[in-house]
Amino acid sequence: MRETTRSIKRASIPIISAIILGLSPNDLSAQSGPDYLVTAEPLGTITSDFLRLGLIAAGAYLPDKTVHDVSIYKLTYHTVDVAGNPTVASGALYVPQSDADSLPLISYQHGTIMNRDQVPSNRAEDPPGLFFSGYGYIVAMPDYLGLGDNPGLHPYLHWESEATASIDMVRAAREFLLDSLGIKDDALFLAGYSQGGHATMAMHRYVHLNQLDEEFSIEASAPMSGPYALSGPQFEYIFSKDSTYSGSYFIPYIIASYQLVYGNLYTDYSQYYDPPYDSIFAAWEASGIFFDNYPIDSFPENFYVFMQDSVLDHVFEDPSHPLNEDLRENDLYDWAPKEPVRMLYCGMDLTVSPENAIFTQEQMNLLGAADVLSVNVNPDYNHTTCAIPAFMYALEWFDGFSENGAVSALTVSEQPVVSLYPNPVSRWLTIETEITDRSMVSILSMDGQQVVETPLEGPVQQIDLSRIPKGVYVLTIRSGSYVISRKIVKL
C-alpha cells in the first residue's frame, strides 16, 4: 500500500507515554445519498520503531505481536445533529501500513473531553488510535457532535447522537479506505473508554434496534469503564454516599447536554446553580472549553457548593423530575446484544462505579443475551490506571476472533465442537472438544471475577469445581484461533 504523507513532528517518548497513561476520562440517516465522506486530510505517519518505544514506556508493548507503521488521517463527514438535521462532523482514522487488501476495523469512541479542540482529529498521536492500529487494526475515531469541527455544545452522554456520530464515521471511513487506499475492512469491532464506553454501548444498541446488522456486522464489543446505567448505579454512586464526588465537574456537563437535547431543565443558569458558578458555567458552555480560566483542581467536590439546594433535593425526592427522566432516557442496559460483549472495568474506579458493568450484565442476561460479561481486569486500579490493562484485554480478546492476525470468516457451525457435562454440575465438569490449538480455559463468575484458569490439556479434560460457590458462571476457551464461551451452573 503506497501513499504520500507528511511526517508528524516527533514528540518525546515520555510525552507519548504520559498521554497513554493519562487518558481522561426509526433509523436516522445522515443524508439520502450514498456518500458520507466530505474531506480526508493526511496528518502523517508514525513509524513502528517510534511507536514501539512509546508502547514500551507505557507498559503496553507485546513482544509477540508485530508493530506496524501507522498513517493518520483527519476525516470530515455527513451526519445528523440531535434534532436529526444534516450536519458535518470530524474524526480521525488510523491505518496500519500493510500489504493486505483487507484489515479488521475498530470503531473507537473516546472518553470525556473538556476542550472542544482536544479531539482525535486534532491530536495526531491519540493513544488508543496508536495502540490498536500499531497492532494491526484500522481505527475510526469520531470526535462526536459539538467537538472538533462540529459547531455548538457537545451533547455529553446523549446515547443517540453518540451512536449516529460513530456510525456515520465508520461509513465515511469505509468510503475513504476503499476508494482512496484500496482497503476493505473484513471485520468490525467496537471499543471505547469512560464516556467512550457509554458511546460504544450506544452504537451497538443503535445498530441492534434499527436492524443495521447487515451493514454493521459486529464481531464483538468491548465497552470499558462506562456509565451504562446513569439513572441507577451511577446516580446512586454519585449522590447516595455523601455530598461529594471527585468528578463533580461532570454534573454541569451532563445537565447542559440534556438541556440542549430535551430543553426541559431550566431557562437560566441561575435556576440550577449558585453564583458565581452560574456565570462560570454559562461562559464555559458558550466557549466549548470547560475549565477555561478556572483550574479543574479548584472545582468543589461538594455539589451543594455550586448547585441550588432545592434543585438537588427535588431530584433526589422525585423520580419524575426531568433530570431523572433524561438520565433514564440514556440508560443502555435494557436490551440483549446478539454479539459478544465484554464490559471491562477496574475495582477501585472512583469515577465510574464498577456496578455499572455488573448491573448491566445482569439485566442483559435476564433479557436473554447469549454472551455478555462484566470483567474486572484489575481489582486495585482506578479510572485512570485501568486504561492500559483494559486496552490490552480488549486487544487480546479481539485477536481471539482472528487467525494469524487476519479475522477469520468462521461461522458458528464451523467452530470446533465443545461439550460440557454434566451441566448443571456439582463437582467434576468434563470438557470434550475438537480444539487442537494451545488453549486456556477460564471460568468467570457473573460479577466478572475469575475463579478458574487452567490450560486445556487434551480432547477430554475434567475440572474440579467443588471449591467455587453455587451460581451461574461463564466458561471460556481461548486459543489463537477461537474464543468460545458457554454458561455453566454450579450446584
Q: What DSSP string describes 90-123?
A: EEEEEEE--S-SEEEEEEEE----SBTTSSGGG-
Tell me the three cell numbers of residue 15.
510525552
User: In this predicted structure, which of 209-213, 255-259, 386-390, 438-442 has the lowest mean pLDDT?
Assistant: 438-442
Beta strands in 385-458 (DSSP E): 402-403, 406-407, 418-421, 428-433, 439-445, 450-456
Domain covering 13-229+331-407, topology: Rossmann fold (3.40.50)
Question: How high is the mean pLDDT of the chain?
Answer: 87
Over residues 419-448, mean pLDDT: 85
CB 341 within 8 A of CB 220: yes
Q: 430: how many CB neighbours lie within 10 A of its CB?
A: 14
pLDDT tens digits, one per residue of 154-171: 999 999 999 999 999 999
Q: 165: how many CB neighbours lie within 10 A of its CB?
A: 31
Q: 310: how many CB neighbours lie within 10 A of its CB?
A: 10
The CATH architecture annotation of domain 230-329 reads: Orthogonal Bundle (1.10)
Hey, where are the domains in the chain? 13-229+331-407, 230-329, 412-490
CB under 8 Å to 142, separation ≥6 — which residues? 89, 91, 107, 109, 110, 120, 165, 166, 168, 169
User: In this predicted structure, which of 73-87, 165-179, 258-272, 289-303 has the lowest mean pLDDT?
Assistant: 289-303
Most confident of 21-25, 140-144, 421-425: 140-144
Tell me the three cell numbers of residue 402.
482472528
Higher pLDDT, 13 or 177: 177
For the chain, give the percent of residues with pLDDT over 70: 87
Q: What is the DSSP letter of 268?
A: S
Over residues 253-281, mean pLDDT: 94
Structure confidence at residue 387 (pLDDT): 96
Structure confidence at residue 17 (pLDDT): 41
- Our CA dihedral for 86, 202, 236, 24, rounded to 10 degrees, sits at -80
Structure confidence at residue 24 (pLDDT): 36
CATH of 412-490, one of 3.40.228.10, 1.10.3720.10, 3.40.50.720, 2.60.40.3080: 2.60.40.3080
Structure confidence at residue 76 (pLDDT): 98
Higher pLDDT, 124 or 425: 425
Q: Does 181 score more than 50 pLDDT? A: yes
Confidence of residue 346 (pLDDT cuts 50, 70, 90): very high
H helix count then E strand count, the chain: 13, 18
